[in-house]
Each structure stands twice: as C-alpha cells, then as structure tokens.
C-alpha cells in the first residue's frame, strides 16, 4: 500500500493510458474489456491483490468468492464469442454480507450463528447482478446484524468479520452498517458494492467513503433472501464512486420480484426508468430545490458552510431555491416498527434456509446463541436492541404495531419529507447527509448522496468510546437529495449535475491506497 501523496490516478495497461482502479468507471472497464486490452480474469486478479494489500488493516471484505475466477473466465469466453450481457459484463462487484448467494460463500450478517447456513437459491439481488454479467467478487463486512443488535457496539464491527476501519484517516469510523461496502468502493477493491439500508446504512458509509450512494425507494429493489431488519424500511442499493456507475447498477438490480410483494408498487406496471438516460450535466437548470430551513442545524459548522455553498452552486446552475419547511420537523416516531418487524422478518428469513447449522428459528434463539458463544463478544457488546424487541411481546401482526407505523407515516409524510415536497412542488429536498437518513427511512422514500466536502487541516480529532475516529482532517461528508417515492430518475439527474459541477471526490485521496493496478496483472 502507499500513502495518498504518492498515489497516481492515470497509469498504463500494455502501454496504453488507463485510469487507476481507485478512479476507474464502468465505461472504462467495459471499453477495455471489449477492446481486448485486458480480461475479466485480469480484473479479478487485480482486485483480489488489492484486497489482500489492505484487508488486514481495514477488514472491509469478509470473504472472497472462490468461484470468481471461473466465472470471470466464462464471461471472457462469452465475450470472445460476441455475447455481451451489457455494461456490467465481466465487472467485479462486492455485495454486503447479508445478501444471500446460493454458492460457496456464507451469508452471516456478521454472526457466527449463520456460518455454513445455506439457501435454496440466489437472492434476487445476486440473481440480477449475475444476469447483468457482473462477477460477485465476495462479501463485504458490515456492522453486525446491520447495526441492529447492540447499544454499545461500534460501526463496522462484526463477530465474523472484525472491525472495519474507514479509508480517509487511521482508525476512522467507517459508519454503517454497509461499512465494508463503503471502504471497498472508496479504495477500488471492486468496481462498486451493494449495500442495504434501513435508516442510514447506505448513505452514511457512502459519505464517509467519499462516495455516491443510492438508497432506493422501499420496493424498487427486492429484499428476498436479504437478512432483514424491517420490511417497511429495508432496501438494497449501490455504493459507487460516480453517479453514473451507481445508476448503471441500480438499473441492473431494480425491478419486480414475485417473492417480495413490495415490488408490486413500482409504477408503470413495473417498468424501470432509464436511469442512464436521466443523466444530464445541465440537470439543475429549472429544477426546484427545496430547503427545509426549520430542521437545519443553526451552527456555522464545516458541513453547514459547505451545504450553503452547495445551494449557491445549484442556484448558479439555474435551479430555483425554494423554502420547503417541514410542517412538524420534530414529530415523534415509533421504535415499535423496527422491533416488531425484526421479530417477524428474521423468523421468516430463517424459515427459508435449506441448511440451518445452529437451528435458529427466531430472535430468542439468536439472542441465546449470541450470549453464549464467546466469539460474539457478549456482554462487552450487548444485545440491548434485541432485548427491547423481545420485551415487546408481539410482532408486526399486532394492532399496536400498526399504531406505531401510522405514527411514522405521519412524521415522514404530511408532517415531514413527503408533505414538504408536495406542498412546495419541489423536485427534491436537500440535506447534509449526516441528518438525512431517518427523514426518508420512516416512509420508505429514496435518497441519493454525493460527495460534498472534507474536514480541513487543523480539525480536532474526535473519537468514540471504542477509539474510532469520527471527525478529523480529510474525513469526508456528503450532500443528500431526498425525493418522493420512486423518483430516483429525478434525483439521479440532479445529483449527477451537481457532481459534474463540483467534482468533490477528486479533491482528497484516502490516507492509504493499494498499489496493485491492472497493468501489473494484464502485462503478463
């Protein structure tokens, strides 16, 4: 590995100029593969070498797909015969270690209880990636149980995968729960990654990785055979270095799945928009951008200064800035929704396992295993969230659950995000990513986060009780575009235009970068 000051972004493959794997895009890889400059086998070997360079330090990848090279060779053969499955053909992608695959890889949510467990088929997310020609390179580490176990754990820690560290400062908090997905995409350990979000788990690690993260509308992407928290809030989306790459991946994974009835809500009889066609460098021209002044922090912080500068950039690009206050920005929400959903949804996932090595039937079994298996680090890392869920005494079929759900729908609907969008006829509400997640989560609305800035030199270093660095020089932060349900195409257009105007991602490099490049592999 090398320090950022020594890093380069433009190299050569077989004597021809080609971007570094920390900067490369899907279009770059597709063109190089199609021209024969390198193969998908070369790509897998290069990415695996990069993972091996940094994984002992950052723990971003939980396990590699032992079939990745064989799959790459098959896709290379298809290409040589004129068969091309699309822009993702032969491109390696990592997926979070809660998205099931029917292969030799585990799907554990970071728990030893599910090591060796098997499913009878791929999750729809894995299936769609394969259908698009992507190579599932491995499973990225995560905050255990998608950050839904403990009150005193740390972002990025799992019993199975260890502690993920962020890429922009030593011992950096990577945020979570898609922690490894964020770090891997930031460092070019794969072209991009899939994450999952219930509230913040894509957008927050994306901002900490200086990435684009798309948290789709609940129901745009299938959750079948994804280890759940809440059917009302869970969603799966891409974490990539550019808006265009994230759009390519979203287009590949979105769509109806008969095994996830929430996908029946996709508009236009399930037809997925042309997200790549939505990209427009002038997309901010004429857009109505909503600013919810009454819920914004009043501090003059680094993030808020950058946020108001972003408003000026959009105004300069032809957008109309609209005051779009929330009717009740402090409307109360209910924790019952996640707790009761988790009790029901986890049991449903366990019931789908074709091999269940520790006979997990529900949350009570999981808590007992976790509290008695030494590698789960209990009681140092408690089970407080599960204790609360089990203490409810009911699941999501109870009338008390529906009361809590309606409370959330009001807080995020009429009183919150959706009401502000509708009343003010805006295309998006923009917020600092650090305060955006729950505003959309409680009503299943989409978010696209893009890089906004970095903490400057001289910033005081702040740490958590477990020693993870939360604020320091060069730690990134993001800007979120929030929208109404199934408005991803609009959000992508706006986010792309802002990205192209600012190109924030290029301004700071991670503090360490793998040295292996495609030219090191493809030359031989």
Measured distance CA(378)–CA(382) in Å, rounded: 6
Measured distance CA(34)–CA(325) in Å, rounded: 50
Active site residue 201: yes
The catalytic position among 111, 177, 222, 334 is: 177
Measured distance CA(55)–CA(186) in Å, rounded: 13
For residue 413 the two structure tokens come to: 């609907």
Q: CA-CA distances (angstroms) from residue 487 to 197, 202, 346, 441, 455?
A: 17, 18, 29, 15, 31
Measured distance CA(59)–CA(63) in Å, rounded: 10
For residue 133 the two structure tokens come to: 């020609």
3-class state of residue 7 by DSSP = coil
Active site residue 96: yes
Active site residue 193: no
Helix axes 363-372, 384-392, angle to 10 degrees: 150
Residue-wise DSSP of 50-96: HHHHHHHHH--EEEE-TTHHHHHHHHHHHHHTT----TTTT-EEEEE
506 burial level (CB within 10 Å; 0-12, 13-18, 19+): exposed
Measured distance CA(341)–CA(398) in Å, rounded: 11
Phi then psi for residue 53, to 5 deg, are -65, -40
Beta bridge partners of 140: 61, 96
Residue 397: CB atoms within 10 Å: 10
For residue 223 the two structure tokens come to: 């959750």
DSSP 8-state assignment for residue 274: -
Alpha carbon dihedral 439, 94, 150, 232, in 10-degree steps, equals: 40
3-class state of residue 353 by DSSP = strand
Beta bridge partners of 163: 157
Q: What is the CA radius of gyration of the chain?
A: 22
For residue 128 the two structure tokens come to: 């769609």
The catalytic position among 201, 230, 334, 344 is: 201
For residue 442 the two structure tokens come to: 């409680």
Task: State the catalytic residues.
Answer: 96, 177, 201
């Amino acid at each position: 590995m090398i320090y950022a000051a020594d890093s380069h972004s433009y190299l050569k493959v077989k004597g021809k100029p080609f971007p570094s794997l920390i900067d490369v895009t899907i279009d770059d890889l597709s063109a190089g593969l199609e021209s024969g400059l390198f193969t998908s086998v070369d790509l897998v070997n290069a990415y695996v070498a990069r993972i091996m360079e940094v994984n002992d330090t950052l723990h971003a990848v939980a396990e590699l797909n032992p079939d990745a090279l064989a799959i790459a060779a098959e896709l290379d053969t298809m290409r040589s015969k004129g068969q091309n499955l699309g822009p993702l053909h032969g491109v390696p992608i990592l997926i979070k270690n809660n998205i099931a695959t029917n292969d030799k890889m585990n799907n554990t949510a970071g728990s030893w209880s599910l090591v060796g467990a098997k499913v009878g088929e791929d999750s729809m997310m894995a299936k769609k990636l394969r259908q698009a020609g992507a190579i599932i390179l491995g499973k990225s580490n995560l905050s255990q149980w998608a950050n839904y176990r403990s009150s005193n754990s740390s972002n990025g820690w799992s019993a199975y995968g260890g502690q993920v560290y962020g890429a922009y400062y030593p011992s950096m908090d990577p945020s979570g729960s898609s922690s490894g997905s964020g770090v891997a995409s930031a460092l070019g350990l794969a072209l991009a990654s899939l994450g999952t979000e219930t509230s913040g788990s894509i957008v927050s690690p994306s901002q900490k990785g200086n990435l684009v993260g798309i948290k789709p509308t609940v129901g745009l992407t299938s959750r079948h055979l994804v280890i759940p928290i809440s059917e009302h809030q869970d969603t799966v989306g891409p974490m990539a270095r550019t808006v265009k790459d994230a759009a390519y991946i979203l287009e590949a994974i979105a769509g109806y799945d008969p095994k996830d009835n929430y996908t029946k809500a996709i508009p236009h009889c399930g037809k997925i928009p042309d997200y790549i066609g939505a990209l427009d460098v002038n997309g901010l021209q004429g857009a109505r951008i909503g600013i919810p002044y009454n819920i914004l922090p009043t501090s003059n912080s680094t993030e808020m200064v950058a946020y108001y500068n972003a408003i000026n950039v959009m105004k300069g690009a032809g957008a109309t800035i609209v005051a779009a206050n929330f009717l009740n920005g402090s409307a109360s929400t209910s924790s019952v929704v996640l707790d009761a959903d988790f009790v029901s949804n986890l049991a449903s996932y366990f019931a789908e396992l074709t091999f269940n090595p520790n006979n997990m039937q529900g949350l009570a079994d999981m808590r007992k295993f976790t509290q008695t298996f030494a590698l789960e680090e209990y009681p140092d890392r408690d089970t407080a969230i599960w204790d609360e869920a089990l203490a409810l005494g009911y699941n999501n079929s109870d009338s008390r659950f529906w009361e809590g759900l309606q409370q959330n729908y009001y807080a995020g609907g009429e009183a919150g995000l959706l009401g502000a969008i509708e009343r003010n006829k805006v295309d998006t509400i923009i917020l600092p990513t650090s305060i955006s997640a729950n505003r959309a989560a409680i009503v299943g609305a989409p978010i696209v986060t893009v890089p906004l800035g970095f903490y400057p030199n001289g910033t005081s270093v702040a740490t958590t009780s477990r020693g993870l660095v939360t604020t320091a020089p060069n730690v990134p932060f993001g800007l979120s575009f929030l929208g109404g349900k199934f408005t991803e195409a609009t959000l992508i257009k706006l986010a792309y235009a802002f990205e192209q105007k600012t190109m924030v991602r290029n301004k700071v490099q991670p503090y360490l970068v793998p040295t292996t490049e495609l030219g090191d592999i493809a030359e031989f």
